[in-house]
Structure 1
Amino acid sequence: MRLSGCLNITGLSATVTEIYPKRVEPLKELVPKAARIAALFNMSNPAIPRQWTAVETAARSLGVQPLLLDVRKADDLRPAFETAMRERADALVVGLETLTLANAPLIVDLAAKHRLPAVYASTEFIGGLASYGVNYPDHYRRAATFVDKIFKGAKPSDLPVEQPTKLELVVNLRTARALGLTIPRTVMLQVDQIVE
């Protein structure tokens, strides 16, 4: 993507709305009887409504009812999980932004407490069932190539803004066992990393 009229902007983007449906698909495979999938998002973040729409569309295309859990501050997390249970959510997709990342341990704990299988946007949610998203070490290496090119004389305006090139599906077998889930072969064939 080139930004016309901008003289010195380049870099990498980690916000890829198109990834969100790919978080719903393995979740439905991991929990095949799921009738309702909740999505934990901070809708006050301007980037999030498009991500919610992507999750909502993907869920409906799989015959699953989506449920939005709008959390705007840490104090909203516990009530959001209570809502998920009251509304009989069978699984959870967790969005990635400042609020959820800052509260990752709490979110993972609440999902475990409520026995709610969840797919996260990042491996930062250690202990969660699965994550699908940007491989950040690879992303950081790509950023270093931009710096190297600029130090060697390239103009930032000549370097396109890039989307992530490596996405990873990580599955936590210990969490799957704790939830009584068997990882289907179709998911195992897609897994980049298994956490024991």
Structure 2
Amino acid sequence: MRINKLFKLMAVSALTMTALTGCGNSSSNGDVKEVAIIQYVEHTSLNTIKDAFDEQMEALGYKEGENIKYTFKNAQGDMNTAPSIIQDFKSSKKDCVVAIATPVAQTAAEMSTDTPVVFAAVTDPIKAGLTTSLEKPDKNITGTSDEIQVEMILERALQVNPDLKKIGVIYNKGEVNSVTNIAKAKAFCDDKGIEMIETTVTGVNEVQSAIDVLTSKCDAVFAPNDNTVANAMDMVGPACAKAKVPLYVGADSMVQDGGFLSVGINYEDLGKETANMVDKILKGEKVENIPVKVFKENLSVYVNTKVLKQLGITLPNEIKNDKAYVEIKE
């Protein structure tokens, strides 16, 4: 009898310990990570990145309300708003901050002393002051770069029109990424003997008049992956098509929104890689061990076929027969 009672007590104790241990593991596994996301503005490129990021995070096992909590804010292109958003993020403990586009990445950098920051779609992270090394990030900030191949895009412009004499450029000089790309365009044009006509804008409301001036003076227009211009593609694309002036752009999404041609990456891939970096950080990896990912390989040549017809252009074989050629239909 006593032995049976002893065994029963031992069994109950064992079950109790197992239950308690199970509860402990459940609590540990149920640790909810907090990730704050700030996006500079609404346009196709950045929206594509955000959507791909969300999908990849879910594929990696993160479920909103279960093991992760997101705080998402959009600055709506207003850099006066971005600092207050970052201050809100700082007031509550975050495990990681994601900044989509250069302007908000620069603002989010002030959180990097206490919180890891992962940027997305920053053309030149070093010139933007986010790190001094792409291979070994040294400011608790890393991320993905959409450095565009300006020379490759403009080479395609020359293939389309070997007699190209004047090319107009439109961008917001307040965006570091755009300034970098326009400098590359200027160097290319100087080397090829092409006159570059430069027009800058500070907001979407200035774009229409600026593009009208360029299309009246130029044989082609180049717009880098500039957030202000990308947000106004519904004006820029039709204006160029109507004037029969090819619009060469810095992103596949800008081709989708009415640009004629681009050479570059797929922004879905960039969004997914940004999520992979956040995943590593949430699992304990140090930021300094996560190199900045620059997307400059396996590039595609994107052409909007609707715009192609509107322009009345016949694509040269160098482009049409390129294995990287991708047709985009609006």
TM-score (norm 2): 0.54
The equivalent of 2:110 in structure 1 is none
The equivalent of 1:27 in structure 2 is 157
* Structure 1 segment 103-114 matched on structure 2, within 5 A: 103-114=232-243
The equivalent of 1:102 in structure 2 is 231
Contact kept, 8 Å, 1:27 with 1:118, in 2: the verdict is no
Secondary structure, in 3 states, of the residue corresponding to 1:154?
A: coil
Which of 45, 58, 63 in structure 1 is aligned with 2:193? 63
Contact kept, 8 Å, 1:130 with 1:171, in 2: the verdict is yes
Output the CA distance in 2 between the equivalents of 1:127 and 1:101. Answer: 10
Runs of 5+ unmatched residues, structure 1: none
Output the CA distance in 2 between the equivalents of 1:43 and 1:118. Answer: 19
CA deviation after TM superposition for structure 1 residue 27, in Å: 1.3
Contact kept, 8 Å, 2:203 with 2:228, in 1: the verdict is yes
* Amino acid in the other structure paired with 2:145: S
The equivalent of 2:70 in structure 1 is none
TM-score (norm 1): 0.87
1:152/1:82 CA distance change after superposition, 3 Å = closer
Output the CA distance in 1 between the equivalents of 2:137 and 2:142. Answer: 9
Output the CA distance in 2 between the equivalents of 1:185 and 1:79. Answer: 35
The equivalent of 2:279 in structure 1 is 148
- Over aligned residue pairs, what C-alpha RMSD do you find? 2.0
Structure number with greater Rg is 2
Secondary structure, in 3 states, of the residue corresponding to 1:96?
A: coil
* Amino acid in the other structure paired with 2:327: I
Higher relative contact order (CA 8 A, sep 6+): 1
Which of 264, 270, 276 in structure 2 is aligned with 1:133? 264
Q: Which runs of 4+ in 1 moved over 3 A?
A: 189-192
* Amino acid in the other structure paired with 2:165: A
* Structure 1 segment 68-87 matched on structure 2, within 5 A: 68-86=198-216
Output the CA distance in 2 between the equivalents of 1:81 and 1:26. Answer: 21
1:28/1:146 CA distance change after superposition, 3 Å = same
Residue 252 of structure 2 corresponds to residue 123 of structure 1: yes
* Amino acid in the other structure paired with 2:248: V
